[in-house]
Amino acid sequence: MDDLRQKYLNAIADAADEGKLEEIRLAAMGKQGEVALKMRELGKMTPEERQVAGPALNALKDEITSALAAKKSALADAALDERLRAEWLDVTLPGRPRRMGTLHPVSQVTEEVTAIFADMGFAVAEGPQIESDWYNFDALNIPPEHPARQEHDTFFMAREAGDNRPPHVLRTHTSPVQIRAMQLHGAPIRVIAPGRVYRMDMDQTHTPMFHQVEALALDRDISMANLKWVLEEFCRAYFEVDQVELRFRASHFPFTEPSAEVDIRCSWTGGQLKIGEGDDWMEILGSGMVHPKVLQAAGVDPNEWQGFAFGMGIDRIAMLKYGIPDLRAFFESDLRWLRHYGFAALDMPTVHGGLSR
């Protein structure tokens, strides 16, 4: 008994890992272990011998079992200490930033545009997406024969037979918001009107629903020079470049007179767009001085007030700035696309801090 006790207690003390400890347990306590074989010999002993050997074997078994448990606990503590030393961490250091959701590029660009025009004193105006025929067309000097008033270009709301109310449409531009803003606030006024608009068109650069932002500024002495300055300041801030060059081309819009398409100088080098340099020109928006009939429809005296208006596609300028090749991808709800082009949800763009952080 004493030899077995000493043999296994020494082996347990020298065990370097739990694998070796399991081998010792099996050698002593397994079915063919030395202690187990000694327990089987009790049946061959006389009653007197069993009275002596039985308690001694049970005590040996308990002592080896306790030594095994103590050694296993010691090995576990040693492994934990080693792991803590190897995986040491300074909990006083700041945590790693983790992205919490992504902001859609349309939302990001809308915030960027709003920040830029707010810096120039423009408020944000909003209006309904379902508009009356009068607000969407008549008040904007768009005649009945204009192509935009045909069903192949505009989504008209269904009406029951005998319904004599004015027809309603899904607005084709955010210009009706300008009419409502002038009716509500009069002149002088400076507002932008971002929002969804609808037209029956679908290809790589057109979708049935897209986003526009329009601007309106009215005062007693506003001219095209003011329009040019505002657009230059906007393009410098939005594209985050020091210099831009704009070119005005005569055009026609029913709601402005004179009207102009605006191009920006750019270059395409290796398939990459660069704003403010190069020999190419790219159209970015339409603009002009507000037509007197539009002012009259909104309740503003055109003999006292004048101003400019312009509009651009938010989706389009997002594509130009962030290199998005296909407009249809904006509306396909592909999370992989959003993770690639999306923006940190809590980073609010500001002119001072940077727009596209």
Closest alpha carbon to 76 in 131, 14, 17: 17
Closest alpha carbon to 354 in 256, 255, 239: 239
**pLDDT, tens digit (0-9, with 9 covering 90-100), for 138-155:** 899 888 877 766 766 788
Angle, CA 328 vertex, CA 327 and CA 332 arms, to 5°: 135
CB 228 within 8 A of CB 246: yes
Q: What is the CA radius of gyration of the chain?
A: 40
Closest alpha carbon to 172 in 215, 214, 137: 137
Alpha carbon dihedral 284, 288, 294, 298, in 10-degree steps, equals 80
What per-residue confidence (pLDDT) applies to 99? 64
The mean pLDDT of 104-111, rounded to a whole number, is 91
Structure tokens at 337: 């696309």
**pLDDT, tens digit (0-9, with 9 covering 90-100), for 317-350:** 999 888 888 888 888 888 888 888 888 777 778 7
pLDDT tops 90 at residue 216: yes
Reported as type and span, the H/E element at residue 304 is none
* Range in 8-12, 91-95, 104-108, 235-239 the model is least confident about: 91-95
d(Cα 106, Cα 332) in Å, to the nearest integer? 13
pLDDT tops 90 at residue 226: yes
pLDDT band at 357 (very low <50, low <70, confident <90, very high): low
What is the chain's length? 357
d(Cα 164, Cα 86) in Å, to the nearest integer? 81
